[in-house]
Amino acid sequence: MAHNYKKLAILGHPVQHSKSPLIHKYWIKKYGLDGQYDAVDSPPDTLERTLRRCLKEDYNGFNVTLPHKHSIRSYCDFFDTTSHEIGAVNTLHLKDHKLYGSNTDAYGFSKNLEMSHPDFEWGAGPAVVLGAGGAARAVAYALKDKNVPVIKICNRTLSKAGNIVADMGGSVMPWEERTEAIKECNLLINTTLLGMEGQSLLEMPLETLPSHATVYDIVYAPLITPLLQEAQARGNPIVTGIGMLLYQAQQAFKTWYGIVPEVDNLLIQKVLA
Ligand code: ATR
């Protein structure tokens, strides 16, 4: 194996539909780098064994996806601050026989918005987050990191929203009050699966949303979700979810190879195909 050869994989369950192999293989080829990127399926009860086997087989970098983002932390020797605060790791890097855990989801979230709308002002007003799962935690962390003045977490199960608020700040809003919650908001983000192909619709009337507010859906299948369609029809700026996937991958790739790969149009087309 060449000295700079990287043996990389995504660890998850299931992983067969993951776009990560496509993305990272594209960049390895584009930049003429040495390496491979595989998909490794591991149910939760064999995660430790699978990870140990991969390390024995000289894998030296991983992405981690559902359902392991939380549990994988027990096998890390070190974490970065972001993954520590979010409570989830999505990137592993082996260096000097030590496993470093990091989280690039929050970066992916904010970078995507900034690339879509370079003039967007994080500090201009409140942000409302719909949902309180793992994705919402990363989003709330990013909002806090960007000094968003007011963060409202609106979720069906109030206690889950409360857990995020306890760690990241902000306030809890009952799901039933979401129309009220968006009244003065500058940014509305859907982090639930609602609106995704095969899932129920997100019922989020936008009549009370200010006309300048940006609407961001982290769902990217379909690319323009019904929420984004409605926002677009009202003239609100929108952000699609595909870039969050691509920019979290960009940061992970940088962790392994030390270069920032380009999120180009051909890659976007391939991922959406
Ligand atoms: P992830 O970790 O990918 O964010 P998750 O933990 O399954 O996914 O979270 C899914 C989010 O969608 C949750 O906030 C969930 O609300 P609950 O915490 O009340 O379960 C939300 N969600 C799922 N189905 C929903 C529905 N029909 N109405 C409202 N919220 C829903």
Read off the pLDDT of residues 172-187 as tens digits, 9 standing for 90 and up.
Answer: 999 999 999 999 999 9
Ligand 1 midpoint to CA 170 (Å): 19
Which long-range CB contacts under 8 A does 18-26 form with residues at least 24 apart? 18/65, 19/245, 19/271, 20/63, 20/65, 20/249, 22/270, 22/271, 23/245, 23/246, 23/249, 23/267, 23/271, 24/63, 24/249, 24/252, 24/253, 26/267, 26/270
Q: What is the pLDDT of residue 4?
A: 85
User: For 133-148, what is each residue's pLDDT tens digit?
Assistant: 999 999 999 999 999 9
Arithmetic mean of pLDDT over the chain: 97
CA-proximal residue: ligand 1, atom 2 (nearest): 134
Q: What percent of the chain has a predicted confidence (pLDDT) above 70?
A: 99
Q: Crossing angle, helix 242-257 and helix 265-272, to 10 degrees? A: 120
Classify domain 107-240 at the CATH topology level. Rossmann fold (3.40.50)
CA-proximal residue: ligand 1, atom 8 (nearest): 133
Q: What is the pTM of this model?
A: 0.96
Q: Does the pLDDT value for residue 81 go beyond 90?
A: yes
Query: Is any atom of ligand 1 closer than 6 Å to the C-beta of 133?
Result: yes
User: For 223-261, what is each residue's pLDDT tens digit?
Assistant: 999 999 999 999 999 999 999 999 999 999 999 999 999
Fold: same for 6-103+246-272 and 107-240: yes
Ligand 1, pocket-test mutation among 155, 189, 220, 248, most atoms within 8 A of CB: 155
**Domain assignments of the chain as residue spans, ordered by start:** 6-103+246-272, 107-240
Among 3.60.20.10, 3.30.1540.20, 3.40.50.10860, 3.90.79.10, what is the CATH number of 6-103+246-272? 3.40.50.10860
What are the structure tokens assigned to 268, written together? 């976007």
